[in-house]
Structure 1
Amino acid sequence: MVKLQPGGIYCTDQAEIICTGLGSCISACIWDERIGAGGMNHFLLPFVNHNQEMHWHPDNLTTTPARYGIHAMEMLINYLLQRGAERNRLKVKLFGGAQMMGRNSRIGEKNVEFILSYAQTEKLDVISHDLGGLEPRKIMFDPLSGRVWLKRIPFAEVHQIKAQETQYATELERKTRRDKNNDVELF
């Protein structure tokens, strides 16, 4: 079992299960059944805020670009194509985008709008999706068959997930500022 963190992407052609927890974030599960390979991403926001710089550090398992849907989707699809997948055979399942950060924040809603628009524009074959709402989710994905197990997290656990997402976002922001001088700027 492989646990995917926010900003992560994982592809495999092995008998592994990829899992993650989602609040307002989105995960796309994409696979090509013919070659027996698939992968998952986990992104926080649809697009890069141009007021922030993008950084990558080789010690991180996640990259700054993969935190953003526009990059996470392209990276996941390209990794699968490099493994021999064909774009016209890719199947997609989409999850996440819960409204977790209060009424004034539309992060979950913006993520849902982005991923549905992206899938339509790129003509991706979306087999199913479970997007939006108020409850966070835990998902487990079999990248060889495309099978997904989904568990909605009970309301009692919502505050814990919200606190974890807020803490993770704060830590990323601090780390980005702290490591700014040691990173490579992507363009």
Structure 2
Amino acid sequence: MAALDPPPSHSAPDRVTVMQGEARASAEPTVEFSTVLGSCVAMCLFDPSARVGGMNHFLLAEPPTHRSREQFDEHYGLFLMELLVNEMLALGASKSRLKARLYGGANIHRGLSPIGTANADFARRFVVQEGIELTQADLGGNQARRVHFLPASGRVRCRLTAAQATPTQQPLRRPQSALGDVELF
């Protein structure tokens, strides 16, 4: 007698919050990445053939010019973009098949420098320079966004949030730096 396959699971996804300074990748169909963005930007990458996806969340586009390339850390866009691409390649993705979606980059507080605009501009430049196809961008404005991403299917849901839901400070825990594990292209 042949064994029957178990019925499909309709349980809630395994939600993983992607905090400022983090990049996560997965091929697991039950994983859902989520984050809340104000002036920060998140890139959701997906390889439709490998069914691998990932999300990052960066606070600032680029370090001040007086810092060297070796001093990049988890707060800056270039480090997190490269980290995300590398994590996806390690799971079987191919850079030539990657599709990108960009979210965030709002200028929440009037009178402050337009950090959100700088972050959004950096993210757009990065995908062009790296030859990654940009399939969707929801950037700018003055309202925060909540993003949910299913990395194995590439599906994304993005909603505008109330102003009080916008993170205003660094998270209490600081993610481990992966410096030395990132290959810069």
**Equivalent residues of 1:54, 1:65 under 8 A apart:** no
Distance in 2 between the 1:160 and 1:4 partners?
A: 15
Give the fraction of aligned pairs with identical amino acids, expressed as a percent. Answer: 31
Distance in 2 between the 1:99 and 1:35 partners?
A: 35
Q: 1:69 is matched with which residue: 77, 86, 101?
A: 77
**Equivalent residues of 2:144, 2:165 under 8 A apart:** no
Q: 1:95 is matched with which residue: 84, 89, 103?
A: 103
Deviation, 1:31, is 1.3
Partner of 1:179: none
Q: Does 1:10 align with 2:35?
A: no
Partner of 2:12: none
Distance in 2 between the 1:109 and 1:55 partners?
A: 25
User: Partner of 1:117: helix, strand, or coil?
Assistant: helix
Deviation, 1:83, is 1.4
Deviation, 1:22, is 0.2
C-alpha change, 1:94 and 1:68, in structure 2 (3 Å) is: same
Distance in 1 between the 2:125 and 2:65 partners?
A: 21
Deviation, 1:160, is 4.8
The letter for the 1-side match of 2:115 is: I
Q: Deviations over 1:51-108 (max 9, x none)?
A: 679999xxxxxxx722110111011001111111111111111000000233231100
The letter for the 2-side match of 1:22 is: L
**Equivalent residues of 2:35, 2:146 under 8 A apart:** yes
Q: 2:54 is matched with which residue: 35, 39, 57?
A: 39
**Equivalent residues of 1:101, 1:107 under 8 A apart:** no
Aligned length: 163
Q: Does 1:119 align with 2:127?
A: yes
Give the TM-score of the pair, scaled to structure 2: 0.78
Q: Which runs of 5+ in 2 are unaligned?
A: 1-14, 181-185
**Equivalent residues of 2:40, 2:60 under 8 A apart:** yes
Distance in 1 between the 2:69 and 2:127 partners?
A: 24
Partner of 2:137: 129
Root mean square deviation, CA, Å? 2.8
User: Partner of 1:92: helix, strand, or coil?
Assistant: strand
User: Partner of 1:104: helix, strand, or coil?
Assistant: coil
C-alpha change, 1:55 and 1:100, in structure 2 (3 Å) is: farther
Q: 1:48 is matched with which residue: 63, 70, 74?
A: 63
User: Partner of 1:118: helix, strand, or coil?
Assistant: helix
